[in-house]
């Protein structure tokens, strides 16, 4: 298994399996592994001196079936064994008619309990579901904010490239470069990169077959290793590569793009609503301030009017008091002047005396 799971050896050397000797029960599993990894097997029959070649059969592992059973396998892996009914209940979208498809992943251990089969244990050991793809900064910058169908397909390839099982079924070597090429069947998009420490490094991304044929010969592994890389967590929904039907893939991608557009539109509308609500709150606050000022001005007018009324009342009282005082003064003056005084005064002034 160490040789099969070492991508550096897998892509640099021609690995050959020899399911001869040992326990006979192991032979079928070795043969299946050769088919899963696309490796040639050789066999020697008893005392024969000539090798018998067992080429890998032209079939592939159904990743969709495996993806559906993974939650159930991980449940068993956590608890060593679980009830058979619980195992099937943990399989995604399971139906009773599919039971034969999932029996090879488990082994019965009595009392209706099951545990992981050697095949499932091998598959779990070579898969790397917790890793993020390692991608060149150039590719990240190109695809990060691109929501077109080709970009969506490339992001899906990148996300699936961390899975050795899937990568082995979708990789190829092109004679004009020593880079590993990854592609989904019946699609134009491709990735190119290299393997280091059993991890695939995505160096270049190609949107069309024409660009791929034109530009890929310009690159090699040495150039790719000089690029800047980082782990890229693709959190957006880019779908899963489970079909080789081009029309179905493109239709699914278009639905994903439309769904993303609707999500963005909903976000925009929510922001508009929030902004409108904020404007309304601000207008409400401003109206409350104006109403408060109106109340204060009204009170000020009332206070001023009351003060003026009081001042008017005080003025009238003072005026009446002054009139009374003047009347009394005039009356006192009349009493001090003797009768006939003004007649004599007039006579004296007239006579010049």
Highest mean pLDDT among 55-64, 82-91, 246-255: 82-91
Give the lowest-confidence range in 42-51, 121-130, 156-165: 121-130
Whole-number Cα distances in Å, 88 to 72, 97, 113, 196, 319: 7, 12, 12, 37, 109
Going 271 to 277 to 279 to 285, the CA torsion angle's sign is negative
- What's phi and psi for 246, nearest 5 deg? -60, -45
DSSP 207-274: SSHHHHHHHGGG--HHHHHTS-EEE----S---------HHHHHHHHHHHHHHHHHHHHHHHHHHHHH
Gap between the Cα atoms of 353 and 347, Å rounded? 9
Task: State residue 327's pLDDT score.
Answer: 80
Q: What is the pLDDT of residues 233-242, one digit of tens each?
A: 888 777 655 4
Contact between 81 and 114 under an 8 Å Cβ cutoff? The reply is yes
What local confidence, expressed as pLDDT, does residue 11 receive?
60
Rounded to an integer, the average pLDDT of 164-172 is: 78
What are 301-328's pLDDT values in tens digits? Answer: 888 888 888 888 887 888 888 888 888 8
The Cα–Cα gap between 37 and 53 comes to 16
């Amino acid at each position: 298994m160490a040789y099969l799971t070492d991508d550096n050896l897998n892509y640099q050397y021609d690995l050959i399996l020899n399911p001869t000797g040992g326990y006979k029960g192991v032979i079928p599993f070795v043969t299946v592994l050769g088919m899963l990894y696309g490796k040639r097997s050789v066999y020697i029959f008893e005392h024969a001196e000539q090798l018998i070649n067992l080429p890998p059969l032209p079939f592939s592992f159904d990743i969709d079936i495996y993806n559906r059973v993974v939650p159930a396998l991980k449940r068993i892996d956590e608890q060593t064994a679980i009830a058979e009914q619980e195992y099937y209940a943990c399989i995604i979208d399971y139906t009773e008619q599919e039971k034969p498809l999932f029996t090879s992943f488990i082994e019965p251990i009595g009392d209706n309990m099951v545990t992981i089969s050697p095949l499932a244990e091998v598959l779990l050991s070579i898969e790397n579901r917790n890793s993020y793809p390692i991608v060149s900064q150039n590719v990240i910058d190109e695809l990060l904010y691109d929501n077109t169908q080709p970009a969506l397909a490339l992001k899906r390839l990148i996300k699936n490239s961390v899975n050795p099982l899937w990568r082995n079924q979708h990789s190829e070597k092109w004679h004009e470069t020593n880079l590993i090429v990854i592609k989904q069947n019946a699609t134009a998009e491709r990735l190119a990169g290299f393997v280091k420490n059993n991890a695939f490094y995505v160096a270049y991304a190609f949107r069309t077959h024409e660009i791929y044929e034109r530009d890929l010969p310009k690159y090699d592994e040495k150039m790719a290793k000089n690029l800047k890389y980082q782990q890229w967590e693709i959190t957006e929904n880019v779908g899963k590569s489970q079909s080789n039907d081009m029309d179905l893939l493109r239709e699914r991608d278009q639905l994903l793009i439309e769904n993303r557009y609707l999500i963005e539109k909903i976000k925009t509308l929510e922001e508009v609503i929030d902004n409108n609500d904020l404007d309304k709150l601000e207008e409400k606050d401003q109206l409350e301030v104006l109403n408060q000022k109106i109340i204060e001005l009204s009170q000020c007018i009332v206070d001023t009017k009351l003060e003026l009324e009081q001042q008017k009342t005080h003025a009238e009282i003072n005026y009446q008091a002054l009139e009374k005082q003047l009347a009394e003064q005039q009356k006192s003056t009349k009493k001090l002047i003797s009768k006939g005084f003004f007649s004599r005064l007039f006579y004296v002034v007239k006579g010049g005396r």
